[in-house]
A and B are shown apart, each in its own frame.
Chain A
Amino acid sequence: MTTARSLGLARCHDCGLTSRFEHAPEGGSTHCPRCDSELHMRKSNSLSRTWALLIAAYLMYIPANLLPVSTILYLGNSEPDTIISGVIALFQGGDAPIAMLLFFASIAVPMLKLLTLTGLLLSVKYRSKWKLRDRTQMYRMIEAIGRWSMLDIFVISLLVALVQLQALSTIHAGPGAIAFCAVVVLTMFAAESFDPRLMWDALEEEV
């Protein structure tokens, strides 16, 4: 087992070239010989950045679930829907597959992302050597599925675009949608700023 860092090599996060990492003088920086992006042994301030984004996402998660994401005005009745009430209404309306899909994209995935990232951050903090391969795959997975949580936002935007028939029926967006969108974006950034190599660094000697 040889890591790039132990040989003084670093991988460019933009073009993927593995090249020699020259330690720059104070205040300077090292650049990739191929694409000129700044080189880092590990993503810079990965842990504090990821924690900050993650905590912000947790905070937004509260209004995202408590405030209505959309309001339907139908024949004089006004019906505000939160994310959860929307999914429940679909279940009761008999659209089980669609309800499952929305449950997965809007409730399960964001929750899974928040909890998994928290777990991964803690595992780095305690230099855990437990199931490194599986943890790396977990990270890959939440990074890949995160974008599908935007589903509800697109649905709201389409409903708002299509159902604008004044008194007959109208759908408006609600403030919860902004908070929910913020959760999706913040967790996407948090996943991006997390560096899975920090987990594997636990196998090496304390530096």
Chain B
Amino acid sequence: MDTSPATKAIACHDCDQLNAATVLKQNEKALCSRCGSVIGRGGENVLSRTFAFALASLILLAVANSFPFMEFKIAGRSQVAHISTGVTQLFAEGYWELAGMVFFTSILAPIVVVGGLIGVTLPTFLGRRYRWMILLGKLVGKLKVWSMMEVFLLGVIVSAIKLSAMADIVYGPAMAAFGILILTSSAALSTFNPQTFWEYMDEGEIA
């Protein structure tokens, strides 16, 4: 790879200013000298922490999607919903566009992002580098804005308040799993420093 002095500089993604690359300590941020955007984050060996949080998230994702999420009770009758019930119900009513978007943003993208984070961090413990890790790293970068579990959780709160006037809401075991999942998945994403990952990929032969 070309490592001439010029490539040691960091171009700002927001204004194209060339900034000198600096070594950052834990919790330090590098800001662009011209526009002030964050161009680098410090932190050592954070890939292992990302792996731990991502693995916990994957297990919680399985739990959250397998058990009842909320129950709606009115006049002696009740309706149990899973996370995916909204998707199937919207689809059944002919709103496949909405069903597709809700499925993608609340189920599929979170699974791919969390799975992707495991995929790019696990081989680093063995010092391995594979070509598919590059693709996975790019995929995580592209999909993370579409993984909207925290927006979904806010949606749960809003719907519960809206419905509380009409009837009783009972929360199922999936709700607890989902609540913790929000914490572990945001921890996985915030400890994942793409720069650390890409630099790791640079340091050796890719199989």
The distance from the CB of A22 to the nearest CB of chain B, in whole angstroms, is 10
Q: Mark A147-161, 1 if CB is under 8 A from B, else 0.
A: 110110111111111
Complex: how many Å from CA A133 to CA B10?
18
Q: Give the residues in chain A near B207, CB-CB below 8 Å.
A: none
Whether A18 contacts B161 by the Cβ 8 Å rule is: no
Q: Give the residues in chain A near B34, CB-CB below 8 Å.
A: 1, 133, 200
Q: Which of B46-54, B92-100, B180-188 contacts its partner?
A: B92-100
- Which among B4, B167, B198 is the interface contact of A15 at CB below 8 angstroms? B198
Whether A164 contacts B79 by the Cβ 8 Å rule is: yes
Q: Mark A15-36, 1 if CB is under 8 A from B, else 0.
A: 1111110000000000001111
Complex: how many Å from CA A137 to CA B38?
11
Whether B81 contacts A162 by the Cβ 8 Å rule is: yes
Q: Mark B114-141, 1 if CB is under 8 A from A, else 0.
A: 0000000000000000000010011001
A139 within 8 A of B: yes
* Residue among A137, A160, A185, A196 having the largest count of chain B Cβ atoms under 10 Å: A160
Total A residues in contact with B, Cβ cutoff 8 Å: 67
Whether A9 contacts B90 by the Cβ 8 Å rule is: no
The distance from the CB of A92 to the nearest CB of chain B, in whole angstroms, is 12
Whether A157 contacts B79 by the Cβ 8 Å rule is: no
Q: Give the residues in chain B near A55, CB-CB below 8 Å.
A: none
CB-CB under 8 A for A162 and B70, given A155-B162, A169-B166? yes
23 A-B interface contacts by CB (under 8 A): A4-B17, A9-B11, A16-B198, A17-B7, A18-B11, A19-B2, A33-B2, A90-B162, A101-B158, A102-B158, A132-B15, A133-B34, A133-B35, A133-B36, A136-B14, A154-B106, A155-B159, A158-B81, A164-B89, A165-B72, A165-B74, A178-B97, A181-B98
Given contacts A4-B17, A35-B138, 8 further A-B contacts (CB under 8 A): A15-B137, A18-B18, A19-B7, A34-B201, A35-B137, A136-B14, A139-B14, A182-B97
